[in-house]
């Protein structure tokens, strides 16, 4: 693999793409450390050092921002607005005929959907930026921090608007940087930025586990976490690469003197067809009750129940609810993202059929049957992987940003595999050996 990387850097055009991608990542990480105007940076650092209570509620967004959320920097919102906008547009494509028609138009229609995604990203950035400023002003961002209400000393309208505009501009810049990587670099730009944000927190999270450990000055816990991480990476790679290949045969057709068709291929149905989306959906949905309690400061019975059962991630009710939501959203997302009837119609149109299955409706029913069967192990796998940080929180007394688990490990492995495949394919186009010999 190291030899393949060396050969990649010897190839002029591939070297330019890799260096360009690295340069964009450096700019992205620099922006994650520039504070927003109007913030008392010293008080922010004091709250981060003294309390970790804010990370439990905002851990998902903080992870996608590479820790910039709690630092309240210009890139505090990270890629989360773009991810949310992309998911919303993908869901609306199923229910809005106009978007469905654009999706079928090919490249021109996809360009319009991308433009709508950009507009929605800016709108969500304004909304999330306003919410972040409001939480920072009332001192709720860091829980019981003594100087939590002094993070924004000047609470005038002008300062608030400036902070929101700055964070919205930061989100727009992140979106532009991601598109630059997609066009001129290696891999999908937004995925690479997500990968960087999550990987940037690994060293500090691992060292925090070492400092909190009690056995052999924490080195035993540190070693156990590393072994657990390697085992999880191997498991995630195995499941992410697993797929059910449904064979498809195309009949021969004579057009003039030439024969067309007669080829054999397959439809690859992944075990984890939904990817990381169900984990994001479930996490976001479980944050809503806690956010309502935090904003309303209610002392009612329902608020106390939410505080006792749904705020702490190690509570059994939270764990069971989280697991069931992931399983539900796995089936839900697969149902809206893969249309067996459309696939069956396309196969019938071009003379394709599954051996032993009649074309048309029987083919669609067979694909639905196969998809439901492989989605079960995929959804259970997602639920178990997502609960790993909670188990670590109980057994190792780790913080809620435990590195090897849940959304972080799924994104890192998935993006890493996809990026390596793209580099390998470009090496093979130049008659070089790939990463695997």
Q: Is the pLDDT of residue 119 over 90?
A: yes
Question: pLDDT of 355-364, one tens digit each?
Answer: 888 888 888 9
Q: Is the pTM of this model over 0.85?
A: no
- Is 157 exposed, middle or buried, given 0-12, 13-18 or 19+ CB atoms closer than 10 A? exposed
DSSP letter at 73 equals B
The mean-pLDDT minimum among 169-173, 295-299, 415-419 falls in 295-299
Report the pLDDT averaged over residues 180-184: 90
Three-state secondary-structure class, residue 250:
strand
Predicted pLDDT of residue 299: 73
Report the pLDDT averaged over residues 362-377: 91
Q: Is the pLDDT of residue 294 over 90?
A: no
386 pLDDT band (50/70/90 cuts)?
confident
Mean of all residue pLDDT scores within the chain: 81
Give the integer Cα–Cα distance in Å for 49 and 374: 45
Of 199, 175, 173, 172, nearest to 188 by C-alpha is 175
Q: Do strands 253-255 and 352-353 pair parallel, antiparallel, or not at all (unpaired)?
A: unpaired
Give the integer Cα–Cα distance in Å for 294 and 310: 13
Three-state secondary-structure class, residue 246:
strand
Report the pLDDT averaged over residues 118-133: 91
Cα 50 off chain centre by: 29
Predicted pLDDT of residue 259: 64
Predicted pLDDT of residue 53: 42
Question: pLDDT of 398-430, one tens digit each?
Answer: 554 555 666 788 888 888 888 888 888 777 776
Q: What angle do CA 279, 285, 289 make, to 5 degrees?
A: 145
434 C-beta neighbours (distance < 10 Å), count: 14
54 pLDDT band (50/70/90 cuts)?
very low
Predicted pLDDT of residue 164: 92
- Which domains does the chain possess? 1-197 (1.10.3370.10), 201-404 (1.10.3370.10)
Give the integer Cα–Cα distance in Å for 361 and 340: 9
Report the pLDDT averaged over residues 301-314: 72
């Amino acid at each position: 693999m190291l030899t393949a990387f060396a050969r990649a850097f010897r190839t002029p055009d591939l070297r330019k793409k890799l260096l360009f991608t690295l340069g964009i990542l450096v700019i992205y990480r620099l922006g994650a450390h520039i504070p927003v105007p109007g913030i008392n940076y010293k008080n922010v650092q004091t709250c981060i050092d003294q309390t970790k209570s804010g990370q439990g509620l905002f851990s998902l967004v903080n992870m996608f921002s590479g820790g910039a959320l709690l630092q309240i920097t210009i890139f505090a919102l990270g890629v989360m607005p773009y991810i949310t906008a992309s998911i919303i547009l993908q869901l609306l494509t199923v229910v809005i005929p106009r978007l469905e028609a654009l999706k079928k138009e090919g490249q021109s229609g996809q360009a319009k959907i991308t433009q709508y995604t950009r507009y929605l990203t800016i709108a969500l950035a304004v909304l999330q930026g306003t919410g972040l400023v409001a939480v920072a002003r009332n001192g709720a961002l860091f829980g019981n921090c003594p100087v939590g209400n002094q993070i924004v000393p000047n609470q005038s309208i002008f300062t608030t608007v400036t902070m929101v505009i700055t964070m919205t501009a930061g989100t727009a810049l992140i979106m532009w940087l991601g598109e630059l990587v997609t066009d001129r670099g290696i891999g999908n730009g937004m995925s690479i930025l997500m990968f960087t944000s999550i990987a940037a927190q690994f060293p500090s999270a691992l060292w925090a586990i070492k400092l909190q450990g009690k056995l052999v000055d924490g080195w035993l816990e540190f070693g156990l976490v590393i072994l657990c991480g390697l085992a999880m990476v191997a498991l995630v790679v195995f499941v992410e690469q697993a797929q059910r290949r449904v064979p498809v045969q195309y009949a021969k057709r004579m057009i003039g003197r030439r024969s067309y068709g007669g080829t054999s291929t397959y439809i690859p149905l992944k075990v984890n067809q939904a990817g990381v989306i169900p984990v994001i959906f479930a996490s976001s949905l479980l944050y809503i009750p806690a956010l309502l309690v935090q904003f309303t400061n209610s002392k009612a019975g329902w608020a106390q129940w939410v505080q006792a059962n749904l705020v702490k991630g190690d509570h059994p009710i939270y764990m069971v609810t989280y697991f069931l939501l992931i399983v539900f959203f796995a089936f839900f997302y697969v149902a809206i993202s893969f249309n067996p009837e459309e696939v069956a119609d396309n196969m019938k149109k071009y003379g394709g059929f599954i051996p032993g299955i009649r074309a048309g409706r029987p083919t669609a029913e067979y694909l639905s049957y196969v998809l439901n069967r492989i989605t079960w192990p995929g959804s259970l796998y997602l639920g178990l992987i997502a609960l790993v940080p909670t188990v670590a929180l109980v057994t190792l007394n780790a913080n809620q940003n435990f590195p090897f688990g849940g959304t972080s490990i799924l994104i890192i492995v998935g993006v890493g595999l996809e990026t390596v495949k793209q580099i390998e394919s470009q090496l093979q186009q130049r008659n070089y050996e790939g990463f695997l010999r």
